[in-house]
Structures are given as structure tokens and as C-alpha cells.
Amino acid sequence: MQQNSWLYSDSFLKRAFAIWGHAAVAHLIIMIPFMILWFLMIGMIFSAVMNSGGMMDQVPPGMEYQQ
């Protein structure tokens, strides 16, 4: 296993890219749950804002919808 691994290569660039690749994969594994939670929170906030009505339900006098 060690002979085939880039971590034990004589080339500095191969060792550097192997470490960079391991760090990138570890970062993705750690960040994916946080990203899922973040998008769920943003979606809930956006949904609450869109469903609240707010100013969209208020019509100025004289501007009522006429058929």
C-alpha cells in the first residue's frame, strides 16, 4: 500500500497534492452537514417571510381590484 500511495512518493509535488487532496475531502465531510443546516434555516426563514403576507395584503384606498 505504501509504495502506491502519493503520500510516500519521492516527488515533493505528489506529496503536496496528496496532502491537499486529503484536506479537501476532510473539509467536505465536515462542512456538508453544516451546509445542509444552513440551507434549511434559510429556506425556513424565506418561507416564513413569503407566507406572512406583510405589505402585500394591504391595498391603498381607491386601488381595489375591479372586474
pLDDT at position 52 = 74
pLDDT at position 67 = 60
C-alpha separations of 14 from 25, 27, 31 in Å:
16, 20, 26
Q: What are the DSSP E strand ranges found in the chain? A: none
pLDDT at position 51 = 80
pLDDT at position 5 = 87
pLDDT at position 26 = 98
Collect the ranges in the chain with pLDDT lower than 50: none
pLDDT at position 3 = 72
Contact 6, 14 (CB under 8 A): yes
